[in-house]
Amino acid sequence: MTSTTPQLGVKMGPEDAKAYVDALNKKVIQRWQERVTNGPFMTKFVEGNLSPSAIRLFFKNWGNFTVEINTLIAASYHKHIGFFKRHPDLLGPLGAKIADEFIHPKPPGHVLVMLQTAEALGLTKDEILREPMLPECRAILDFKRALLWEGTVAEWWFSMLTEEPIGHWAAAWFKTLTTKYGFTKQQAVYFSTHEEADLKEHDDGVMGHGSFNRMVMQRILEDGYADTREGYNLEYCALASVDLYGVMHRAAAELAV
C-alpha cells in the first residue's frame, strides 16, 4: 500500500517518500531565506555593516549551541537504535556522521575549529563553553532536545532538514568574514569546515550531513513510521526549527551593545 501523504502505519513507496521529503526540503530552504538570510542580522552582516559586538554576541551563543547540539546528534544513535537496526545499511553512514563531528579535522572535531574562529573574534573558551546562553538562542537547542527525548523518531529527524541550509549559511559566513571583515581563511575555518560537512561528501566518503538526513527521512516514510504527537507534525518540526534559528539571529542583532 502506498500513500502520497505520510500516515502512521501506512508505508509510502520510495518515489512518493522521496517526493514528500524533497517538497518539504524546498519549504525549509524558502523559510530559511525568509527568516534568516533576509533577516536584519544576516542582511547587515553580508553587506559588511553589522557591528563587531553583534557578530561576537551571536557567535558566543552559536559556539555554545554547537557543542550541545552535537551531543544530541550523538545521543540520537542510542535513542533511535531500534529504527537503525531495521536499516543496517544506514548504521555506517550514521556512525561516520557522528564521528565526523568529533574527530574532523582532529579531536575534539568541530569544537576545535569553532574555538579557533571564536578566538579570532576575541572570545575566550570560558565565554563560549561556560557562560549561559541568551534564552532566545537556547530556544532552538531546547526544542531539539525535547524532540529527541520526548518526541518520536520522525519528529527528530524531520527537524534535521535545517542542516542543508546551515551549510549554505556557513558558506556565506566564510565569504563575508574573509572579504568584508578582514579574516584569514584559517580564522574563519569553522565556517568552511561546516559548509563541507553539511553539503559535500568529504574525508574519504563521509556523506554530506544534509543528504544523509534526507535518506533517513525517506526510510521513515517508507516504513510507515511517520508517528507524531498531537500538536506536532512533520512540517511543523522542520519549519519551527528554521523559525527558532531566526530567533537566535534576531536576538543577537537586537541585544548587542
Q: Please count the structural domains in the chain.
A: 1
Tens of pLDDT, residues 65-82: 999 999 999 999 999 999
pLDDT > 80? residue 257: no
CATH number where 45 lies: 1.20.910.10
- Write out the residue range of the structural domain in which residue 190 sits: 14-255
Cβ neighbours, 10 Å, residue 125: 12
Cβ neighbours, 10 Å, residue 146: 12
Tens of pLDDT, residues 7-29: 888 999 999 999 999 999 999 99
In eight-state DSSP terms, residue 168 is H
Task: Judge whether 8 lies within some domain.
Answer: no
Q: Is the dihedral angle over the CA atoms 143, 98, 170, 58 positive or is it negative?
A: positive
- Residue 3 is predicted with a pLDDT of 54
Task: Judge whether 204 lies within some domain.
Answer: yes
Predicted confidence band of residue 137 (pLDDT cuts 50, 70, 90): very high
Provide the phi-psi class of 3: left if phi over 0, else alpha when psi is between -120 and 50, else beta.
Answer: beta
Report how far residue 148's alpha carbon sits from residue 151's, in angstroms, rounded to the nearest whole number: 6
Task: Judge whether 6 lies within some domain.
Answer: no
Question: What predicted TM-score, i.e. pTM, was given to this entire model?
Answer: 0.93
Tens of pLDDT, residues 74-124: 999 999 999 999 999 999 999 998 998 898 888 888 899 999 999 999 999
Predicted confidence band of residue 202 (pLDDT cuts 50, 70, 90): very low
Task: Judge whether 70 lies within some domain.
Answer: yes
- Residue 110 is predicted with a pLDDT of 86
| Alpha carbon 29 to chain centroid, angstroms | 12
Predicted confidence band of residue 199 (pLDDT cuts 50, 70, 90): low
Report how far residue 178's alpha carbon sits from residue 248's, in angstroms, rounded to the nearest whole number: 23
- Residue 8 is predicted with a pLDDT of 87
Task: Judge whether 9 lies within some domain.
Answer: no
* Percent of the chain residues topping a pLDDT of 70: 95
pLDDT > 50? residue 47: yes
pLDDT > 70? residue 2: no
Give the chain's mean pLDDT.
Answer: 93
